[in-house]
Structure 1
Amino acid sequence: MIRRLQPLLNAIQFMTLIPTMGASRLDDDWVLPAAKYFPLVGALIGLVSGGVLLIASTIWTGLVPATLAVLAGVILTGALHEDGVADTADGLFGGRTREQRLSIIKDSRIGSYGAVTLVASLVLRIVLLASLPPWLGAAALVAGHSLGRAGIVLVMSLLPYAGNVATAKLNYPTARIGGGGAAAAAAFTVLGLLWLAIAAPAAAIFGLAGAVTLALLPALAAQRLLGGYVGDVLGATEQLAEIGLLLGVAAIAGGGQI
């Protein structure tokens, strides 16, 4: 049983700080079998953040519940994707050549572009979430986190790895996710969107459009400037998908009209 659940446990181990007894070390070819579960793990992260939002909204008003909900996601994931969006901004904006950009991205120190982008990511998510009714904000968190991880799977499937394989922290796959894995990832993404789609169909459509649009930006920039993706670009993709989802939902439902 544990063996059959191993890819899911590996996905949880990679994307969260949740202890995962029975998960294997994240080496060899673990990524492809685990990738189909990334949107499901994202939805679970969104459920935790959404739960924090709903509980906090019974006690506080204003920005406090939204701030606590976003921070819950950051803490649960160990700021994995926040680190990625900051490093990606530093590298893509701060370097002049491909080699410089890759070197800057690999540097663990945060620069001006990274700091501004990280703050913008946090502020936008908090403000947009605070503009929604709590129940809709919780649904948007589930959908946004799930879509963000689906974006990671898509970028890994479409772009080549652009970093130095010998020094990479993970063994990123050279093969593409198979048809069965892609179908499973798509199904888990639909599951993550289901609550939002049922509760507010128009907001879900606009949110999906916003998530896809913004998630494409780091991928397209990385393809042009780096020749492919690196791990931090995947983090940036996830963050922008979340922001895009919230922008779309808030455009329709902000202020509590729904």
Structure 2
Amino acid sequence: MSETSQPARRTPTVAQLLDAVRFLTILPVPNAETAPAPDWLTRAMTFFPVVGVGIGVIAASVFVLGQSLFGPTLGALLAVTTSIAITGALHEDGLADSIDAFGGGWTVERRLEIMKDSRIGTYGTLALGLGVTLRVAALALLPLWAALAALVACHAAARATPGFVTRKMSYAGHVSGMKVSYADAPMRKDELALVLIAVGLAALPLLLVSPVALIAGLGLGTMLAAGMAAWSRRLIGGYTGDVLGATEQMFEIGFLLGVAAVLAQ
């Protein structure tokens, strides 16, 4: 009697990529084959820029269709809306919670309490509205070819920020009893190198279009993301999951504004 053949198990790399897709998007992916390890999210962060490329390509495709049907403004709005829908507004939620907490809390404990509150306040609402508006406006100003390249580069590079923040800052959520696995296992240097390689490949089309625009985008995006991280360090002593989402959003906004400052038509 022949033995029943067993399906081939996924390699760690494929498993981590699927974890990244599962965490960052609402796209259907196969279930994990084993129980998650404590450091599963940190290891998955290596592939966050790769998932960002996929999000950027989908958003860019929608932009092409939307611009051909409705013009650049509605095309840009549809592209941004698509990226929000694909990610389940994961990063936008972090931005709203962080701004609500930093704007409305007077102590570390109160700020962390606000972050855990599912309700959204005035500060968070304004942050979301301005964030979407700035991204749409920046995209609408770009020539089509530049907008497509910027979308792919932007979504890849912005999703590299969590790995650097968790490596450079301490987790602050423990003050209010919150606990996350990635706080105890920051990304290794070799993983960060892979992240940078992925971002570099994703940014290559924009580099070929305009090196100055790419530098401006990366520079302004990094400045805004670093500013958010520094603000978080000052007000709560480190980062939380919401802060990671907020830094990603700030990078997206800064990147697109930087590119538009150079290439706006």
Give the Cα separation in 1 of the matches to 2:69 and 2:218. 30
2:232 corresponding residue in structure 1:
222
Give the Cα separation in 1 of the matches to 2:31 and 2:199. 25
Give the Cα separation in 2 of the matches to 1:126 and 1:105. 26
Return the letter of the residue paired with 1:110.
I
Give the Cα separation in 1 of the matches to 2:70 and 2:179. 41
2:215 corresponding residue in structure 1:
205
Choose 1 or 2 for highest CA Rg: 2
Unmatched runs of 5 consecutive residues or more in structure 1:
none
Give the Cα separation in 2 of the matches to 1:144 and 1:15. 15
TM-score by length of 2: 0.92
Q: Does 1:12 align with 2:21?
A: yes
Give the Cα separation in 1 of the matches to 2:35 and 2:117. 24
Give the Cα separation in 2 of the matches to 1:121 and 1:99. 27
Q: Cα 1:169–1:59, aligned 2, differ >3 Å: closer, same or farther?
A: farther
Once the two structures are superposed, the pairs formed by residues 160-171 of structure 1 within 5 Å of their partners are 160-164=170-174, 168=178, 170-171=180-181
Decide which of 135, 140, 150 is 2:145's aligned counterpart. 135
8 Å contact from structure 1 (residues 39, 150) kept in 2? yes
Q: Cα 1:62–1:170, aligned 2, differ >3 Å: closer, same or farther?
A: same
1:31 corresponding residue in structure 2:
41
2:120 corresponding residue in structure 1:
110
Decide which of 115, 118, 136 is 1:126's aligned counterpart. 136
Give the Cα separation in 1 of the matches to 2:86 and 2:179. 20
Decide which of 55, 68, 76 is 1:66's aligned counterpart. 76
8 Å contact from structure 2 (residues 67, 73) kept in 1? no
1:254 corresponding residue in structure 2:
264
1:95 corresponding residue in structure 2:
105
Number of aligned pairs?
A: 255
Q: Does 1:2 align with 2:34?
A: no
8 Å contact from structure 1 (residues 147, 211) kept in 2? no
After superposition, the C-alpha distances for 1:98-132 in whole angstroms (9 at most, x for unaligned) are 11111111111000100000100011111111011
Q: Cα 1:200–1:25, aligned 2, differ >3 Å: closer, same or farther?
A: farther
User: Which has the larger displacement, 24-33 or 164-173?
Assistant: 164-173
1:187 corresponding residue in structure 2:
197
Q: Cα 1:236–1:207, aligned 2, differ >3 Å: closer, same or farther?
A: same
Deviation at 1:205, TM superposition (A): 0.9
Q: Does 1:177 align with 2:187?
A: yes
Give the Cα separation in 2 of the matches to 1:221 and 1:25. 36
**Which runs of 4 or more aligned residues in structure 1 lie more than 2 Å from their structure 2 counterparts after TM superposition?**
22-28, 164-173
Deviation at 1:22, TM superposition (A): 4.0
8 Å contact from structure 2 (residues 113, 176) kept in 1? no
Give the Cα separation in 2 of the matches to 1:85 and 1:112. 13
Return the letter of the residue paired with 2:250.
L
2:59 corresponding residue in structure 1:
49
Deviation at 1:167, TM superposition (A): 5.5
After superposition, the C-alpha distances for 1:183-228 in whole angstroms (9 at most, x for unaligned) are 1111111112111111111111111111111111110011111111
Return the letter of the residue paired with 1:146.
A
8 Å contact from structure 1 (residues 84, 234) kept in 2? yes
- Kindly, what percent of the aligned residue pairs are identical? 42
2:5 corresponding residue in structure 1:
none
8 Å contact from structure 1 (residues 87, 104) kept in 2? yes
Q: Cα 1:7–1:32, aligned 2, differ >3 Å: closer, same or farther?
A: same
Q: Cα 1:38–1:216, aligned 2, differ >3 Å: closer, same or farther?
A: same
